[in-house]
Structure 1
């Protein structure tokens, strides 16, 4: 079953108490209930994957200014049928930022988040069940923009709240000190 590896990753992950624990529980339930959870054609929601990419010195994080949502986020995106969420996260980082040489900073999942994506002309409002991984970029790589972003920058971890102060992002900032 395509979902087994994700369910195993989720089973071995210990979320923060409170909101993240609730979202983790909701994600497990969603994956168990929807065999097509990796497909964006599942209109109520789908699994996405993203990368929290730290600079070689671990003092800055790679954020992109999302063109459609007009906000700063970590790079990530749809699985489009691929159940290997870690590989999807790495692929999305490379496609959205040009950064391709990454080292895992944590075995397994770094963070789990469930968030609403607003409706637009093409799709109804739906949920992203985002599986997040922590990476460190290898020195000397150049940022390359793609059509999905207005900008990509290394933002000092201590200043992330000026770019996006949502609980979703700030939770990852708090977790960064343990990496």
Structure 2
């Protein structure tokens, strides 16, 4: 999925969630910027994430992010790679050590625009995060990366208690829980 495919997929993207609907146009507009896939674009840039679930759709793999001090899905900066599915898979491998990752659907699963706070010389900016649904085996050993404090398979029933009122995570959880065609 290169820049043109991403733009096309975003133009076709439909969601029942008002928050997502509110920023689809901003994502599309960003695809026209030559620097949209590099972190040096300080107003905001694309990132790719993996919402990793087990085959039975009872657990999701979350990481406790060191810099943000929050439980989140795995993912990261595109660093020039316009194929955000590749970015999401690579970040998932790097941040978890998992080798059993399987793409459930190569299409966009979720999008989210969120503020990243200022850190050192990097000003506050937006991440335009494109998420993909990925499946993995829960029995595979996990490897915690230096970007994380912890990494764990969290039961769908416990995710809200862990992440609190994080609409981004809760939206992906709801999408996964309601989708019967993904099994």
Instruction: Sort the TM-score into its range (normalised by shorter chain).
Output: over 0.9
Counterparts in 2 of 1:119 and 1:139: CA distance versus 1, 3 Å: closer
Does residue 40 of the first structure (1) align with residue 39 of the second (2)?
A: yes
Aligned-residue offset at 1:3: 2.0
What does residue 122 of structure 1 align with? Answer: 121
| CA shift digits 1:135-174 (9 cap, x unpaired) | 1103542100110000000000111111213111100010
RMSD, aligned α-carbons: 1.3
Does residue 159 of the first structure (1) align with residue 166 of the second (2)?
A: no
Aligned-residue offset at 1:57: 2.1
What does residue 9 of structure 1 align with? Answer: 9
Q: Secondary structure at the match of 1:151?
A: strand
Counterparts in 2 of 1:139 and 1:157: CA distance versus 1, 3 Å: closer
Aligned-residue offset at 1:15: 2.3
Q: Which runs of 5+ in 2 are unaligned?
A: none
Q: TM-score, normalised by structure 2?
A: 0.92
Counterparts in 2 of 1:110 and 1:10: CA distance versus 1, 3 Å: same
What does residue 171 of structure 1 align with? Answer: 171
How many pairs are equivalent?
A: 177
- Residues 19-34 of structure 1 aligned to structure 2 (within 5 Å): 19-32=19-32, 34=33
After TM superposition, where is structure 1 displaced by more than 6 Å over at least 4 residues in a row?
none
What does residue 50 of structure 1 align with? Answer: 49
> Does structure 1 conserve the Cα–Cα contact (< 8 Å) formed by 2:114 and 2:126?
yes
Aligned-residue offset at 1:53: 0.3
> Does structure 1 conserve the Cα–Cα contact (< 8 Å) formed by 2:53 and 2:134?
yes
Aligned-residue offset at 1:29: 1.6
Aligned-residue offset at 1:122: 2.5
Q: TM-score, normalised by structure 1?
A: 0.94
